Amino acid sequence: MFLFDLKCRKGHVFEAWFRDGATADRQIADSKVACPSCGSAKVEKAPMAPRIGNGGRKEAAERKELATKATLLRQQLTELREKVESNCDYVGERFAEEARKIHYGETDPRGIYGETSDEEAQNLTEEGVQFAKIPWIPRTDS
């Protein structure tokens, strides 16, 4: 398949696909190609730069680069999880409650982690409780 730039007599430029150059010439001569802007069947090939494909190498390289970045990010998040788990106390669904106790001095300061709802997280933020949401990577050592 070949892509050609075409131009109608009113100067509108548009693209059309053809099986080959001869098919394009024949359909244009037989007025079988019309301008999508004005409907004119008086069209001719417009000057265009050839599009030379790279055999998909660029796309393959981009996919490989993204996969490499994703692998690195996953590794970093896994290391972060391990560091949090080894240095902080797991408080489960009591996270918001424990974070408030630490914030208001009701218990000794310490690193904690756990779960909380989006609503509770918003409430903690509004109260000025400092915490961070971490994208938690599931364990793969099953």
Q: Round the average pLDDT of the chain to a whole number and report it.
A: 89
pLDDT digits (tens, 9 = 90+) for 27-48: 999 999 999 888 899 999 987 6
What percentage of the chain reaches a pLDDT higher than 90? 62
Paired strand residues for 44:
7
Tell me the residue type at 65: E
* pTM of the complete model: 0.53
H/E stretch holding 112 reads strand 112-114
The band of 61, judged by pLDDT with boundaries at 50, 70 and 90, is confident
CA distance 30 to 33: 8
